[in-house]
Amino acid sequence: MGEHLGSLASSDLKTRCAAGLDHDTGQWADRKRALTGESSSRWAGSITKATHDQWALARRGQLAYIRSLEAGIATILHRLSLPVGEKGTKKAPGGYRDADEWFAKTRRLRLLQDRLDQQRADHEAGRVRVVRGGKRLLRTRHNLEAAELTKAEWRERWQAKRRFLAADGESGKRYGNETIRVTPDGEVSIKLPAPLAHLANTSHGRYVLAGKVSFPHRGEQWRDRISANWAVAYRIHEDVQRGRWYLTASWTIPPVKTVPLETARAGGLIGVDTNADHLAAWRLDTHGNPVGEPRRFDYDLSGTAAHRDAQVRHALIGLLRWAERHGLAIAIEDLDFTGETTREKHGRRKAFRKLISGLPVAKLRARLVAMAAELGITIVAVDPAYTSKWGGQHWQRPLTTDRRPVTRHQAAAAIGRRGLGHPIRRRTAPPPAHQSDEQEHRTVQAAPGDPGREEPRPRIPGPRPRAVPPGRGANAGNQDAQHRSERPAEHTQLMLSP
């Protein structure tokens, strides 16, 4: 049955890709009508919906690849315009180190421009390149020795990936799904397609499986939904390596209402710093001061995609349960490395490129929002600029004790201060003689609504003391004047507005 429906899904995907941008509702109806004769109306609807989702995913991936090529080309053009050997800044890279590298990058520039032209032409024409079963598994066919697979083992995995056994639910129908029906006691029955109706072992062309299923995770929620006849989608797939078949149930979560920011931060926040292998979290009170002990939630992103996804979910559920016990919202960095993962951005810094490419930014954000909605926890996204640097500079030493060494990442959890309306930097008080003037000295504890609390104090007109040399008034906007203990973090950098 999976192979029969998989062949129908492959032909439907081919038809959809050939239509490109000219596709409309009329063509969709024609495709569904053609599939109905070989399966059923509900199976045809599931196949066409899966085809549209796969085409849209390939379309989004194509656009992301175009953005990556544009970022790489812009970086190469900038570095080629600089003299050879010129040093870069923290905001922009410098020139290439020697003439050989400069020449090699000119050739790579032409290669990237050709790729960009091809991708733009495909995007404008609506052409996408998709493979049912996955491109990675397809390429493995040409590298069986490296993958330690035989041709028969690869063929078995390939056929398992290309099967189609998925059905969308429908509210109001019995147990929320007429095509793949699962009763509360775990009995599974499948509506067979028309060409396979002779294989039915019960009435109305249905086939009842001998084994029963159970859902250890969220089983009570699933049972509540099917008891109320709410829509539940099912997918049946085979794990070739384990020799098992699995049934996955899913349903749509209703939209979550947005909570006002004042309500979310009424009792404080939990600041979270995202890292390559763990989440560093610390509870902050309403004034932005850390309370209690920091927490660390580890995850291992090596191995298969299913293992990585399970690791991320395990770390997030620990964080959410901790926030639920304290009744607080979570402030997390709004990270986006779309233009940072290209190798042209960081040159030979392969370790750093691998680090930022391995951060589960998109997956973690999607998982966190979905899981927090189930528990009723509010998520506050804050600006991630200079989080680790300022956390280590302003919070690591004051929070470290003999019995509690604080890491740089744990100190970076002070990013939750931005969610509370406070700056992440701590300003040291000036000497007592300068703590009072006509404008009154402003410290970091100024109210969030006070205008100009992060700006330097205005220069007092009148005669200048002998201790102040001429020309210092021009540097009144320099933040260096506000940091007397050490060189400020933003002396050569630009802070993004929170």
DSSP string, 223-290: HHHHHTT---EEEEEEETTTTEEEEEEE-PPPPPPPPPHHHHTTT-EEEEEE-SSEEEEEEE-TTS-E
pLDDT band at 486 (very low <50, low <70, confident <90, very high): very low
Indicate if the pLDDT at residue 15 is higher than 60: yes
Query: How many C-beta atoms surround the C-beta of residue 411 within 10 A?
Result: 28
CB 373 within 8 A of CB 316: no
pLDDT at 356: 59
> Stretch 149-172: mean pLDDT, rounded?
93
Indicate if the pLDDT at residue 434 is higher than 80: no
**Alpha-carbon span 352 to 309, nearest angstrom:** 22
pLDDT at 482: 44
Instruction: Locate 179 and state its tokens.
Output: 């095509």
pLDDT at 303: 76
pLDDT band at 496 (very low <50, low <70, confident <90, very high): very low
Indicate if the pLDDT at residue 494 is higher than 90: no
pLDDT at 61: 92
pLDDT at 448: 54
> What single DSSP character describes residue 95?
-
pLDDT at 408: 84
Q: Mind listing the pLDDT tens digit for each residue in 169-192?
A: 899 899 999 999 999 999 999 999
**Alpha-carbon span 244 to 237, nearest angstrom:** 9
pLDDT at 94: 87
Indicate if the pLDDT at residue 206 is higher than 90: yes
pLDDT at 485: 43
Mean pLDDT lowest among 87-91, 121-125, 178-182: 87-91
For residue 169, give Cα distances in angstroms to 214, 223, 233.
18, 14, 5
More confident position, 102 or 430: 102
| Torsion angle of C-alpha atoms 45, 50, 52, 57, degrees rounded to 10 | 170
Find, among 22, 355, 33, the residue nearest to 8 by Cα: 33
Q: Mind listing the pLDDT tens digit for each residue in 216-274?
A: 888 888 998 999 999 999 999 999 989 999 999 999 877 777 788 888 888 889 998 88
Q: Mind listing the pLDDT tens digit for each residue in 454-466?
A: 455 555 555 544 4
More confident position, 45 or 347: 45
Max Cα–Cα distance, the chain, nearest Å: 103
Q: Mind listing the pLDDT tens digit for each residue in 287-318?
A: 888 888 899 998 887 777 778 778 888 888 89
End-to-end Cα, the chain, rounded Å: 54
- Which residue reads 């080629």 in tokens? 80
CB 448 within 8 A of CB 304: no
- Helix residue ranges, H only, 285-349: 305-326, 343-346
Judge residue 435's burial from the number of C-beta atoms within 10 Å of its C-beta, 0-12 exposed, 13-18 middle, 19 or more buried: exposed
Strands 233-239 and 166-167, how do they pair?
antiparallel
CB 273 within 8 A of CB 409: yes
pLDDT at 490: 39
HSE-up (13 A, CA, CB side) for residue 165: 22
pLDDT at 431: 53
pLDDT at 467: 45
- Which residue reads 């007429």 in tokens? 178
Strands (E), 317-466: 329-333, 379-382
Indicate if the pLDDT at residue 439 is higher than 50: no
Indicate if the pLDDT at residue 491 is higher than 50: no
Indicate if the pLDDT at residue 473 is higher than 70: no
Angle at 68 between CA 67 and CA 73, to 5 degrees: 100
The helix or strand, by DSSP H or E, that contains position 207, with its residue range, turns out to be strand 206-212
The crossing angle, in degrees rounded to 10, of helices 151-162 and 2-19 is: 70
pLDDT at 88: 83
Q: Report the percent of the chain where pLDDT is more than 90.
A: 42
Q: Mind listing the pLDDT tens digit for each residue in 339-387?
A: 555 666 666 666 656 655 656 666 777 778 878 887 888 888 888 777 7
CB 444 within 8 A of CB 426: yes
pLDDT at 433: 54
* Mean pLDDT of the residues in the chain: 81
- 3-state secondary structure (DSSP) of residue 345: helix
Q: Mind listing the pLDDT tens digit for each residue in 22-39?
A: 888 899 999 999 999 899
pLDDT at 5: 95
Going by C-beta distance under 8 Å and a sequence separation of 6 or more, which residues neighbour residue 495?
A: 385, 386
| Amino acid residing at 382 | V
pLDDT at 435: 52
Q: Select 261-419's CATH number: 1.10.150.120, 3.30.420.140, 3.30.450.40, 3.90.1170.50.
A: 3.30.420.140
pLDDT at 159: 94
**Alpha-carbon span 170 to 172, nearest angstrom:** 6
Indicate if the pLDDT at residue 469 is higher than 70: no
Strands 329-333 and 379-382, how do they pair?
parallel
| Torsion angle of C-alpha atoms 196, 197, 200, 206, degrees rounded to 10 | 110
pLDDT at 371: 82
> What are the residue ranges spanned by the domains of the chain?
2-130, 165-250, 261-419
- 3-state secondary structure (DSSP) of residue 161: helix
Instruction: Locate 60 and state its tokens.
Output: 């989004």
**Alpha-carbon span 320 to 332, nearest angstrom:** 12
